[in-house]
Chain A
Amino acid sequence: GENVEQHPSTLSVQEGDSAVIKCTYSDSASNYFPWYKQELGKRPQLIIDIRSNVGEKKDQRIAVTLNKTAKHFSLHITETQPEDSAVYFCAASDFGNEKLTFGTGTRLTIIP
């Protein structure tokens, strides 16, 4: 089955700087890669996703890049703000497999 690894497990960034979180996956059939943000005590919420026919996707301060050959994808947050502090999870699935396989999460702390 699919295995998703996520690094780093914790990340502290000065407010205004950029943050990068990286994930690798094992199943070459995976073609959908969402990123979820989970604040303490709250539900995971999708912040951005990318499909395998696209190499990069951007939404304001958030971007995701995908390298299918190397089987890795990354989340980039620019101009970080205190409200970006949360745990971020990457995940992977394929259309025929349905379920999401999640990484172990990155706790991002924005230092004011």
Chain B
Amino acid sequence: DTGVSQDPRHKITKRGQNVTFRCDPISEHNRLYWYRQTLGQGPEFLTYFQNEAQLEKSRLLSDRFSAERPKGSFSTLEIQRTEQGDSAMYLCASSPWGGDTEAFFGQGTRLTVV
């Protein structure tokens, strides 16, 4: 499968624990995006990278959230001290150079905080 892949697909964690998700974009894509999707809503932008540089972060991304893309390839999204409100689907997407090109989404990581 040469699409965007995310790991894990599902994560159940206790409130207060830290979690880390991984995204592997399509190999030739420079842009990598993280979105969050809650039930019945459209994806909400969290942050994006151009190669290894994190160029924008949403106000939704509190200090408990951090994202990295150290070598401009895969990316990780870490949530520290998880809260029940963090329960959502976390979607990763990648696109070729340029903001007006198709973004290809991964299957997402569904996080449940209990």
* Chain A contacts to B: CB under 8 angstroms: 4, 6, 31-32, 34, 36, 42-46, 49, 51, 89, 91, 93-105
Contact = CB atoms under 8 A, between A and B. Distances in A.
Contacts of A42: 107
A102 B102 contact: no
A104 B98 contact: no
A93 B33 CA distance: 13
A103 B41 CA distance: 8
Interface stretch (B21-29, B43-51, B63-71, B72-80): B43-51
B31 A89 contact: no
Given A93-B100, A95-B98, A45 B105 contact: yes
Contacts of B111: none
Interface of B: 4, 31, 33, 35, 40-45, 48, 55-56, 58, 91, 98-100, 102-108
A103 B42 CA distance: 6
A44 B105 contact: yes
In the A-B complex, the 9 residue pairs with the closest CB atoms: A102-B42, A32-B100, A98-B99, A99-B45, A43-B105, A44-B105, A89-B42, A95-B99, A46-B102
A93 B101 CA distance: 10
Given A32-B99, A97-B99, A43 B43 contact: no
B99 A93 contact: yes
